[in-house]
Structure 1
Amino acid sequence: MKGFKDFVMQGNVIDLAVGVVIGSAFTALIGAFVANLIQPVVNVFGGTNVNGLSFKLIAANEATRVDIGAVLSAVIAFLITAAVVYFVFVLPISQARRLDRRRRGLPEQDESAVSEEIVLLTEIRDALAQRGGTMPSGDATPPRP
């Protein structure tokens, strides 16, 4: 039971759950917003065409309709959803985590910092270069035998 609790309490699982729930919750809201406000504005660019910003590849075949307005509206809906999720959930959660790390006295996570593996590999490379004397410490390619 402890293992399951640890798994569920991991940040990645919680972040994923929040993303799924928020994405589902905003789908209807953003869909209505785009269909009723954005789509009519995009269709204005279709001029007096009754179908808005779309055209048929074959005039007599409705299945050949290319609806550029619908695609643009879907892109706008995605961007709105992504912005809302980021600014309402991701940004505040990451700031809260940063504040929590400061409060607990933990160092800030620096993404540009070199990982321990890279440091270790660099030390190994330098030691081998000193031992063999043929590879300078700045060269990342080992000498060929």
Structure 2
Amino acid sequence: MIQGFKDFITRGNVVDLAVGIVIGTAFAAVITAVVDGLLTPIIAMIFGERDLTQVMTFEINSAVFSIGLILDALFKFITIALAIYFFVVVPMNKMAERRKKGDEVVEEDGPTEVELLMEIRDSLKK
């Protein structure tokens, strides 16, 4: 049972997943800081508010509704997703393609199947 657990923990997939989560969390923190410190204030400035969460905020019967809060969450999600796609996924896919090209077996140019069959036919005729 303990050996099975050791095998599970030392398997490459688990270690890769753990590293990916840690790096992803750190990367998300950087992107969130850029969004909160730079992009969100620019968008809020366009709407004339202090921050994006205050955009389209209204109150009905002491209940506060904030469309800006939803917009802020969506903006952060889309920005983080775009950053991860362009800075992580696209480069990783390009690296995988390069590795795949390097691993491809190069076939030597030899006679085709039809040519081999023709040679056999000609040999049998002789």
Aligned twin of 2:90: 87
Please report the TM-score for the alignment, with normalisation by the length of structure 1. Answer: 0.49
User: Residues 36 and 55 of structure 1: is their aligned pair in 2 closer, same or farther, counting only changes over 3 Å?
Assistant: same
Deviation at 1:70, TM superposition (A): 1.0
CA RMSD of aligned residues (A): 3.6
Query: For this pair of structures, how many residues does the alignment match?
Result: 100
Deviation at 1:37, TM superposition (A): 1.3
Larger Rg: 2
4, 8, 18: which one pairs with 2:7?
4
Query: Which consecutive residues of structure 1, in runs of 5 or more, have no partner in the other structure?
Result: 108-145
Aligned twin of 1:54: 55
Aligned twin of 1:118: none
Deviation at 1:73, TM superposition (A): 2.7
Aligned twin of 1:114: none
Instruction: Give CA deviations for 1:84-135 in whole Å, capped at 9, x if unaligned.
Output: 22134x2254135314522xx389xxxxxxxxxxxxxxxxxxxxxxxxxxxx
Query: Which consecutive residues of structure 2, in runs of 5 or more, have no partner in the other structure?
Result: 108-126
Instruction: Give CA deviations for 1:64-99 in whole Å, capped at 9, x if unaligned.
Output: 2221541343122221123222134x2254135314
Q: What SS class does the counterpart of residue 59 from structure 2 fall into?
A: coil
Q: Residues of 2 paired with 1:83 and 1:15: CA distance?
A: 20
Structure 1 vs Structure 2: percent identity of aligned residues? Answer: 23
Q: Residues of 2 paired with 1:56 and 1:71: CA distance?
A: 15
Please report the TM-score for the alignment, with normalisation by the length of structure 2. Answer: 0.55
User: Residues 34 and 51 of structure 1: is their aligned pair in 2 closer, same or farther, counting only changes over 3 Å?
Assistant: closer
